Structure 1
Amino acid sequence: MSAPPTTARRGPSAATVASAAVLCLLELGAAFGAYSALAMRPDGPWDDDVLLAVEIAAYLAIGLALPALGLTVLAVRRNWLRAWWFVLPALLLAVAVARLIHIDQAYPLHRV
């Protein structure tokens, strides 16, 4: 009797590792921007410096989450990554947009 043939399990492909590494870097930067946007609390509508910093941090998160979503679409369509990789960039994008909307609603510009 001969032993049944075994299929050797291969490791992840280079494309999987590369896309995961780039996504992790993009998502880390987007998470920093989203956290910074949420952590800063303006004292009031007159606190222009903090309001500007919140907007910059939120736009940073959006600017890094959008390419991460694009790369995730490519990687999932090519079967390099699984679909759950969409969760984090979509969540970070939603948090950043929600913070921008909140800042716009809570601290409207005073026009003379």
Structure 2
Amino acid sequence: MTPDHSSVDDDRGCLRVVLAVPFLLLTLIEAYFCWTALTIRPSGPWDDDAYAGITLSCVVTLGTAAAVIALWAVPSVRRVVPWWCISPSLLMGIVAGVRWMNGG
């Protein structure tokens, strides 16, 4: 007996909704820390606290980007979540990496 394809499609729709929650939460956290990494401005070369804040924000942004990619890399997740759903996370990870290298 073969499975009914309409029930498989319905299950994938529910799975997408369930998986959207961790992807959305991680992306929101990442967006906040990426924003803080971009908006912190050191007063000068002596402002170690600002540089530490930039570094911390970049590390958290990169960590959450890695978590999103790790979640998406699971084969069962990859089958139902298209790659473009993680593109904002990848973009913010790249932005944080560039910020960290240029001013963190």
* TM-score when normalising by structure 2: 0.81
Say how many residue pairs are matched. Answer: 95
**Post-superposition CA distance 1:35-85 (Å, at most 9, x none):** 000001111110111111111111111111101111122222xx2211211
Distance 2:35 2:18 in 1: 26
SS in 1 for 2:43: coil
Partner of 1:55: 55
Query: Unaligned regions of 5+ residues in structure 2, if any?
Result: 1-5
Q: What amino acid maps onto 1:84 in structure 2? A: W
* Aligned equivalents of 1:91, 1:43: Cα separation in 2: 28
Which ranges of structure 1 fall in alignment gaps of 5 or more residues? 1-6, 105-112
Larger-Rg structure = 1
Structure with the larger helix share: 2
Q: Say which SS state the counterpart of residue 45 (structure 2) adopts.
A: coil
Partners of 2:10 and 2:18 in 1: CA distance: 16
